[in-house]
């Protein structure tokens, strides 16, 4: 199999590759249950007959789907484009029963091989019944972000539901030359100011190191404390993502979203505050840092088109103390978070651009992760992350979307617990993800009912 030279990796792409090199993180995945016409033929034949032509057309449209990483540990790390893709090697049909949660855990834990000439994405289809299946798309983060999963899934469902989707096609797909989209920092992203952006970050990280502990805690409460999970990280531990799913049905979620609209705030804000209140009940009296990734396609000028697969991500970070989590009015707290996020969106869109100040790849990028292990008493930076993909609405005729869950690999050096969410046809689907051994199961197994209970108690 041959390849064509493409462009060098951008900042975020090097960042994701360094996570791979250090086993800090792996994949993102989107897993859905689909309903379809009765399958009255051999299972593998049925699904490949429908998926092969649909995936062929996706490969023809999205350059990222034919990219591989070359020279992963060299300063000239770059993408190359495959000249052909054998779909039989990236699509697996599973006829043995497997739960949705088991499938998500498998796909977020199983790493991609960056040394191979296989695409950095894969589908696994689990045949549930003659009319239903569970389909999981796993993506190496180097070729796309969470919104990229939505882009690919939306296009896939459209293709499956088109008349063309019934045509048979060959397993080996020739790939025409497609130019990969530019990385975020070269897409007219917001500019970083040395004085207003860089210096404050440097001071925040340096000052606590030279001040007395009592004062350092006031400057940065996480410099000496902060929630990092229940158990310390294990040196050189492999990825082992543990997952729990949370489904918020229509009768609970739809009235909440309508009230959000009436109050002028995003459903994301309610998810965030609910996440924090549920965590507070399990871990009372703790201070923590929370990260919210944001989609930065619209932060570029002109905006990166909404259907471009790639990495266009920023991050809004906030610190929550027990006093701040003493919330009496959930709507008031959600409104404040919504306003804070909106006010800080420009700054959040700049956060990942600070990567350009790392002096060399891969050493400086890898040290970024190793330092978190070395400088923390628990071997991880700790905290929480809410990665929310917003709304995904789709009504198909032949292939119907019943449910959909977004998830990502556990972070072994940073966040102790991640909540991933997506709203599908007015129902909310969430996954909790963490590294095996980081959290006490007795606590985390209470999270589902705690989260749902808080949503049920929201005054409407």
How many alpha carbons lie under 13 Å from residue 229 in its C-beta half-sphere? 30
DSSP secondary structure letter of residue 65? G
Q: Report the b/e string of 245-258 with b at 16+ CB within 10 A.
A: bbebeeeebbebbe
Q: Helix 250-263 crosses helix 447-456 at what angle (to 10 degrees)?
A: 50
Q: Report the b/e string of 189-210 with b at 16+ CB within 10 A.
A: bbebeeeebeeeeeeeeeebee
- Residue 357 pLDDT: 85
Q: Which tokens belong to 288?
A: 């923590």
Whole-angstrom Cα distance, residue 429 to residue 406? 8
Whole-angstrom Cα distance, residue 426 to residue 412? 33
Tell me how many degrees the CA angle 107-440-99 measures, rounded to the nearest 5.
30
- Residue 199 pLDDT: 45
3-state secondary structure of 267: helix
- Residue 40 pLDDT: 85
- Domains in the chain (CATH in brackets) are 3-185 (3.30.559.10), 189-391+403-456 (3.30.559.30)
On whether the CB atoms of residues 267 and 427 are closer than 8 A, the answer is no
- Residue 195 pLDDT: 43
From first to last of its 460 residues, the chain has per-residue pLDDT tens of 799 999 999 999 999 999 999 998 889 999 999 999 998 889 999 999 999 999 999 999 999 999 999 999 999 999 999 999 999 999 999 999 999 999 999 999 999 999 999 999 999 999 999 999 999 999 999 999 999 999 999 999 999 998 664 555 678 999 999 999 999 999 999 988 654 445 444 445 544 443 344 443 444 545 457 999 999 999 888 889 999 999 999 999 999 999 999 999 999 999 999 999 999 999 999 999 999 999 999 999 999 999 999 999 999 999 999 999 999 999 999 999 999 999 999 999 998 888 888 889 999 999 989 998 988 889 999 999 999 999 998 888 899 999 999 999 999 999 999 999 999 999 999 999 999 999 999 999 999 999 999 999 999 9
């Amino acid at each position: 199999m041959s390849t064509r030279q493409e462009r060098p990796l951008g900042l975020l792409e090097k960042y994701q590759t360094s996570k791979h090199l250090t086993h800090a993180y792996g994949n993102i995945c989107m897993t859905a249950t689909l309903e379809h016409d009765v399958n009255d033929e051999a299972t593998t034949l049925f699904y490949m007959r429908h998926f092969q032509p649909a995936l062929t057309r996706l490969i023809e449209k999205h350059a990222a789907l034919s990219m591989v990483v070359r020279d992963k540990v060299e300063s000239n790390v770059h993408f190359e484009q495959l000249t052909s893709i054998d779909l039989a090697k990236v699509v697996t049909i599973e006829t043995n029963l497997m739960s949705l949660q088991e499938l998500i855990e498998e796909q977020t834990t199983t790493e991609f091989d960056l040394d191979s000439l296989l695409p950095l994405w894969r589908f696994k289809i689990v045949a549930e019944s003659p009319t239903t299946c569970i389909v999981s798309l796993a993506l190496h983060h180097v070729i796309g972000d969470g919104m990229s999963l939505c882009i690919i899934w939306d296009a896939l469902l459209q293709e499956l539901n088109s008349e063309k989707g019934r045509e048979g096609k060959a397993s080996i797909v020739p790939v025409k030359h497609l130019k990969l989209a530019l990385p975020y920092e070269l897409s007219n992203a917001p500019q970083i100011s040395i004085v207003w952006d860089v210096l404050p970050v440097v001071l925040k990280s340096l000052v606590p190191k030279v001040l007395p502990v009592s004062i350092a805690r006031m400057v940065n409460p996480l410099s000496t404390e902060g929630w990092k999970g229940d158990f310390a990280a294990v040196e050189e531990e492999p990825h082992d993502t543990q997952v729990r799913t949370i489904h918020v049905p229509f009768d609970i979620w739809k009235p909440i979203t309508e009230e959000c609209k009436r109050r002028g705030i995003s459903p994301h804000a309610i998810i965030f505050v609910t996440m924090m209140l549920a965590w507070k009940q399990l871990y009372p009296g703790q201070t923590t840092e929370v990260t919210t990734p944001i989609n930065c396609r619209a932060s570029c000028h002109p905006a990166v088109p909404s259907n471009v697969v790639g990495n266009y991500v920023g991050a809004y970070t906030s610190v929550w103390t027990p006093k701040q989590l003493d919330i009496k009015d959930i709507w008031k707290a959600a409104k404040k978070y919504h306003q804070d996020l909106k006010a800080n969106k420009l700054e959040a869109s700049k956060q990942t651009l600070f990567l350009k100040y790392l002096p060399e790849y891969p050493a400086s990028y890898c040290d970024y992760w190793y330092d978190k292990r070395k400088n923390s008493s628990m071997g991880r930076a700790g905290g929480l992350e809410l990665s929310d993909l917003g709304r995904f609405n789709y009504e198909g005729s032949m292939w119907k979307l019943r449910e959909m869950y977004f998830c990502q690999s556990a972070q072994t050096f940073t966040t102790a617990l991640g909540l991933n969410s997506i709203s599908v046809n007015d129902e909310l689907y969430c996954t909790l993800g963490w590294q095996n051994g980081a959290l006490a199961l007795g606590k985390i197994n209470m999270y589902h009912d705690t989260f749902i209970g808080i949503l049920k108690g929201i005054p409407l």
